A and B are shown apart, each in its own frame.
Chain A
Amino acid sequence: MNLDAGLQAFSEESRELLQSMEDTLLQLEAKPDDDDLINGLFRAVHTVKGSAGLFGFDRVVEFAHLAESVMGRVRDHQVAVANDLPSLLLESRDHLGLLIEQALDGKPDPDEDSIRTGKALSARLQRHLSDRPAGEAQSRSIPAPTAPVLPARREAGVENRCWHISLRFGTEVLRNGMDPLSFIRYLNTAGEIVNLTTLEAMPDPAEMDAESCYLGFEIDLNSAADKEAIASVFEFVQDDCLIHILPPNSPIASYGELIEALPEENARIGEILRAGGALTESEFGTILAGWEKRLGGAGGEAESMPEPSGDAGIRPGVVEPSIVNAGADKYKKVKEHKEEENQVVRVSAAKLEDLVNLVGELVISGANTNLLARRSGGRRLADATETLAGLVENIRDTALSLRMVEIGTTFNRFRRVVREVSRELGKEIDLVISGGDTGLDKTVADKIGDPLMHLVRNALDHGIETPAERESAGKPLTETLHLNAYHDSGSIVIEICDDGRGLVREKILAKALEKQLIKENQSLTDSEIQRLIFEPGFSTAEQATNLSGRGVGMDVVLRNIAALRGRIDVESTPGEGAKISIRLPLTLAIIDGFLVQVGKSSYVIPLDLVDECVEFSEVASESYQDSQHINLRGEILPYIRLGEVFKCHTPGARDSQSQKVRENIVVTRYAGQKAGLVVDELLGEHQTVIKPLGTIFKNVKGLSGATILGSGEVAMIVDVPGLVSRVSESGCPQRTNPVNLEEVRH
């Protein structure tokens, strides 16, 4: 169990950074001279090192430091990206990932394997540093992972032998019942508070809110406790408190970073640290000189450091020398600029989930308000609710877009897979990614990774020929695997194309026979054969390779994708390659629906699938009536009666003579296929929040979800893709498992 939100953040952050390192390294192989890539790599490992240090993950810090040093030399063009360096860095990245995992798991001792790997990698990395000046190499040399070395020996540390703790309490702390006093008193149990400076950031008395907290502290603690123990003192306020903890004898650079990270002016904090004894005058001078150097300013300015004043320096204005302020301010500007470039707020997925759910409720009650307003007949009310509805729609779109992520992140995961497979199988494979910036809901993106991985591996394993085979077929020796994504009518389409052998009809048939999925001499169309690969228990690989894995077949992929309300299509030309397209909804939460009535029940048809609506009698010419087809301006379309599919008793459909209801037909289009749905009444557009169907509806075909209307009534969401594929296959719908909805709905 670990309650530390910081660790959680570290875990996520490091995962992202490791991923970006991997992506960058793979790109670097193709573009070894790209400075941006190299800089990105350096930054990533640097950040990992920095945050691992915050948590006292020494083994991670040690190793990351070594990798960083090598990357630093690459960045400074002292070492070229050549030979085994990319591979070495990739392996190092993996090892770093392992170390982080172990640190997060709280494993006190690494296992033999990881120690051996670590030593071997360290030695190889060291070789790239070997022509350093002797002294430097010595001080930066990596010790065996089992014997972590004090930071002081690793890098020039400050003289301060105390832990330095910077706290800035959030305004809500007092109102939440938390009092900094209690925490500081408790800190005394973890060690001796050698120095404590109370900082106040209170506004003018007239503007001050007496219940808000404006306090901050700089503390030096003499303690033998570890970082975790010290951080745990502030566990209850860590959500609304800025906390920085520096170990004893931290590198000067960490103090520099601390000063930059704190909200107060750099010069003021520097003065406080100096006055409190956390930094000596010359140490602060070093930091200041570092800023000056980075600013490109005259290095000499740093020498005009102010004399340490006797005052504790807790109020602004105490630090007089303008030259220092000028330096600090100049630096601040650089810093602000840097921050502008990267203004990203981390929000937990659960919070976004809550927001989207709330917006869902807002949409429902907004729809209800709209309905009531229209019914009341008051024009001004109707106008007002109309405006409101527009805003609600904007909020909905914005809320959903917050969860939109680019599919490219998912795609990039496959670079590594493809690289490894091509090495392993001795096949030359070129991975082409396009449409990486196509957005989709994070919940969908999270769930599509595994099925996609399976499909990619499948394509590599089964689809791709050996170079020899390719040569004899007259194809270029290098295979191309193409991952593509684009938006199409409210869906995202993901394509996996390869130019391999395609689906081999004979192989599939033979396998299906063996598995008794088909009978001997059964004649099958191409599309039926292609569908066989999605049958449970079907696998054509002669032996389960470690690529496509064991036990998990394409049927699982199909099921996973169906669970996301998506579908898979396979196109294959023997000898030329195969294309697998996955069509998924952009979001799982809300759709624009078209509300229709059949009998007494309301149904929602996803609006983006609706092509047009026409009166049934206009298009249902006599000759087509029996064959369940209509003639729409010369186009012959299959249609089905929703009332029949769902067995709702339509009062006036065909048999009742007293009041013949004018039926309407909603023409839907999905994946290039059109079909008509016959309904009694068209009720208009309706925003729909999808509620998943309970298990009772598990076997009902043709429904994809339910929603609650503004009136509190339940409406079922029609699974258009399911219905359309059924009518277009058979010409008329099969009535599989019809359920009387009136009964189900209490």
Chain B
Amino acid sequence: MKITKQKGTSKSTGLCRLQIEGDMTIYQAAEMMEKFVPCWNDYREFELNLSGVGEMDSAGVQLLLMFDRKSEGYDKKVRLLEIREAVSEVLNLYRLGQRFDIQTSPRQ
């Protein structure tokens, strides 16, 4: 599992661009969470590139949902980039395709 901040991340604009590689399952969830929380606190808008994500389970979905919070006084926005079929299948099962701003077609 690897999470790297990409070019364009800036505190002044509040945008955080992350490249995520590896699986997003319960086995990685706790570790990912640790890395995500500081970002979540520091930025307002997130662009997650999921081209390197192989498997995703509900724990992974919860991580994505965590980013996207508009209630309780938060105004966080998340955009998902380059999701692969496995991930889009999961999001579709949960009917979350509309919930997230998903950009560009999945890369096979």
Contacts and interface: CB of A to CB of B under 8 A. Distances in A.
Interface of A: 174-175, 179-181, 184-185, 196-198, 200, 202, 204-206, 208-211, 213-215, 314-317
Contacts of B11: none
Given A184-B94, A197-B95, A211 B26 contact: yes
B96 A211 contact: no
Interface stretch (B1-9, B13-21, B44-52, B56-64): B56-64
A88 B66 CA distance: 59
Interface in B27-58: 29-30, 32-33, 36-37, 40-41, 57-58
B95 A205 contact: no
B95 A196 contact: yes
A202 B62 contact: yes
A205 B66 contact: yes
Given A197-B95, A202-B65, A205-B37, A215 B71 contact: no
Q: Report, nearest first, the 8 A-B pairs whose CB atoms are least far apart.
A: A210-B29, A210-B33, A315-B71, A198-B94, A196-B95, A210-B30, A179-B58, A205-B37
A208 B40 CA distance: 13
A381 B33 CA distance: 45
Of listed B37, B62, B63, B65, residue having the most chain A CB within 10 A: B62
Query: Chain A interface mostly helix, strand, loop or mixed?
Result: loop
A210 B93 contact: no
Contacts of B30: 209-211
B71 A184 contact: no
Nearest to B32: A210
A539 B71 CA distance: 78
Nearest to B29: A210
Given A174-B26, A205-B37, A211-B30, A181 B66 contact: no
30 contacts: A174-B57, A174-B59, A179-B58, A180-B58, A181-B57, A181-B58, A181-B93, A181-B94, A185-B93, A196-B94, A196-B95, A200-B65, A202-B62, A202-B66, A205-B37, A205-B66, A208-B62, A210-B29, A210-B32, A210-B59, A210-B62, A211-B26, A211-B30, A213-B58, A215-B58, A215-B62, A315-B70, A316-B71, A316-B72, A317-B72
Given A184-B93, A185-B93, A210-B33, 5 more contacts: A198-B95, A198-B96, A202-B65, A213-B62, A317-B72
Interface in B51-97: 57-59, 61-63, 65-66, 70-72, 90, 93-96
Contacts of A316: 71-72
Q: Which secondary structure dominates where chain B touches chain A?
A: helix
Contact of B63 (A179, A185, A210): A210
Nearest to A215: B58
Interface of B: 26, 29-30, 32-33, 36-37, 40-41, 57-59, 61-63, 65-66, 70-72, 90, 93-96, 99
B2 to A, nearest CB: 17
B59 A211 contact: yes
Contact of B33 (A181, A185, A200, A208): A208
A198 B68 CA distance: 14
A219 B41 CA distance: 33
Contacts of B32: 210
Contacts of A210: 26, 29-30, 32-33, 59, 62-63
Given A181-B90, A197-B95, A198-B95, A208 B59 contact: no
Nearest to B76: A205
Contacts of B58: 174, 179-181, 213, 215
A211 B58 CA distance: 9
B33 A175 contact: no
A213 B94 CA distance: 14
B83 to A, nearest CB: 15
Nearest to B34: A210
A206 B69 CA distance: 13
A314 B33 CA distance: 23
Contacts of B96: 198
Contacts of A214: 62
A317 B72 CA distance: 8
Contacts of B57: 174, 179, 181
A484 to B, nearest CB: 58
Contacts of B37: 205-206
B62 A205 contact: no
Contacts of A213: 58-59, 62
Nearest to B94: A198
Given A198-B95, A200-B65, A205 B26 contact: no
A311 to B, nearest CB: 11
B64 to A, nearest CB: 10
A558 B30 CA distance: 62
A205 B37 CA distance: 6
B40 A205 contact: yes
A220 to B, nearest CB: 12
A58 B57 CA distance: 38
Nearest to A169: B58
Contact of B26 (A175, A180, A185, A215): A175
A317 B73 CA distance: 10
A53 to B, nearest CB: 28
Contacts of B59: 174, 210-211, 213
A208 B93 contact: no
A218 to B, nearest CB: 11
Given A185-B93, A206-B37, A316-B71, A211 B29 contact: yes
A490 B31 CA distance: 57
B91 to A, nearest CB: 10
B93 to A, nearest CB: 6
A196, A205, A206, A214: most-surrounded residue (chain B CB, <10 A): A205
A538 B96 CA distance: 77
Given A181-B57, A181-B94, A208 B71 contact: no
Contacts of A211: 26, 29-30, 59
Nearest to B39: A205
Contacts of A198: 94-96, 99
A200 B62 contact: yes
A315 B69 CA distance: 9
A169 to B, nearest CB: 8
Contacts of A185: 93
Contacts of B95: 196-198
